[in-house]
């Protein structure tokens, strides 16, 4: 009898804690299920096309490189404390931000921010996102904002006629200028600046992610394609002509 009395007393004290414990467990569990688990895995690609269709915008091939180039960096939409809690480093994080409505670009805050006419609100703050990239993002959202990918890799990488103006410049604009514009310590906006970065700034080592060097672009998940790296090598080996 005494045992049961003591037990009942103890129960009173610990009852509240027990209840709290159960609630916390319930809350953790419900959070887990709010977002489908698959969203946490970027390899969970909705569709893979071969070859690429010219009518479709592909997230992995075309959209993620834009976000990685123009929206991530120091104090931007990445890292442990992304601006406005919007992390733009992966499909899962972009969708989890809740700022994107599939099939409806005009309702998507991410799209609205990049076309905002108020310079204080417009994204990216440097306002250097080319119109062609803005159009791609719009089209991708309106096509359903899928985590899609297309594979051209069976097509040979065309390395004939590699020139600075048609090949190298485009790779730099598409992948580097979001950070390396003229406001940055290292600018890559002109032929001379790119050449200088190759000669004095380890450009070749950083794009290959060679150990002991910085990684460019800085996001480890995002490396220039082998084809683009090969083209840059051909241009460097040819003596970096200004052609
Ligand atoms: C998201 C922003 C961002 C992008 C995109 C980016 N970089 Fe960088 N880059 C940086 C930062 C930050 C540094 C470090 C600057 C410093 O040394 O303080 C840097 C440094 C460099 C350096 C100097 C490395 C060294 O050893 O001094 C080179 C070369 C470079 N980047 C090339 C590139 C190239 C080429 C691309 C495109 C393929 C690229 N970066 C894309 C942010 C970026």
What is the atom index within ligand 1 of the atom nearest the CA of 224? 38
The percent of residues above 90 in pLDDT, for the chain, comes to 46
Q: Are 68 and 222 in contact (CB under 8 A)?
A: yes
Ligand 1 centroid–CA 168 distance in Å is 16
pLDDT at residue 47 is higher than 80: no
Q: What is the pLDDT of residues 164-197, one digit of tens each?
A: 999 999 999 989 998 999 999 999 999 999 999 9
Q: Does residue 79 come out as left (phi exceeding 0), alpha (psi in the -120 to 50 range) or beta? A: left
pLDDT at residue 1 is higher than 70: no
Handedness of CA 228, 233, 238, 243 (dihedral sign): positive
Query: Of 80, 126, 134, nearest to 108 (Cα)?
Result: 134
Q: Which residue has the higher pLDDT, 141 or 126?
A: 141
Ligand 1 centroid–CA 197 distance in Å is 10
Q: What is the pLDDT of residues 63-116, one digit of tens each?
A: 988 888 888 777 788 878 888 888 888 898 899 999 999 999 999 999 999 999
Which of 72, 186, 194, 232 gets mutated to test ligand 1 (max ligand atoms within 8 A of its CB)? Answer: 186
Query: Ligand 1: which residue has its CA nearest to atom 27?
Result: 201
Q: What is the pLDDT of residues 11-23, one digit of tens each?
A: 556 554 544 444 3
Number of CB atoms found within 10 A of residue 15's CB: 11
Radius of gyration over every alpha carbon of the chain, rounded to an integer in angstroms: 24
Return the residue matching tokens 């071969």: 50
Instruction: Please give the average per-residue pLDDT across 200-224, as a whole number.
Output: 89
Query: Ligand 1: which residue has its CA nearest to atom 9?
Result: 216
Query: Ligand 1: which residue has its CA nearest to atom 18?
Result: 185
d(CA 223, CA 216): 7
């Amino acid at each position: 009898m005494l045992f049961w009395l003591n037990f009942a007393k103890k129960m009173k004290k610990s009852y509240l804690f027990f209840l709290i414990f159960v609630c916390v467990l319930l809350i953790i569990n419900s959070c887990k299920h709010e977002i489908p688990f698959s969203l946490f895995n970027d390899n969970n690609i909705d569709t893979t096309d071969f070859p690429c269709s010219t009518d479709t915008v592909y997230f992995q091939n075309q959209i993620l490189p834009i976000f990685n180039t123009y929206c991530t960096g120091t104090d931007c939409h990445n890292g442990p404390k992304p601006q406005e809690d919007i992390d733009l480093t992966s499909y899962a994080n972009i969708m989890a931000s809740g700022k994107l409505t599939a099939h409806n670009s005009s309702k998507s805050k991410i799209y609205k921010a990049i076309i905002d006419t108020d310079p204080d609100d417009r994204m990216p703050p440097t306002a250097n996102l080319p119109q062609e990239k803005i159009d791609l993002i719009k089209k991708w959202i309106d096509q359903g904002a899928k985590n899609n990918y297309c594979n051209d890799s069976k097509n040979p990488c065309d390395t004939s006629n590699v020139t600075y103006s048609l090949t190298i410049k485009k790779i730099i604009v598409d992948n580097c200028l979001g950070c390396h514009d003229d406001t940055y310590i290292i600018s890559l906006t002109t032929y001379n600046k790119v050449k200088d970065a190759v000669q004095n700034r380890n450009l070749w080592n950083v794009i290959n992610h060679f150990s002991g060097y910085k990684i460019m672009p800085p996001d480890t998940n995002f490396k220039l394609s082998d084809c683009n790296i090969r083209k840059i090598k051909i241009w460097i080996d040819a003596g970096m002509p200004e052609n």
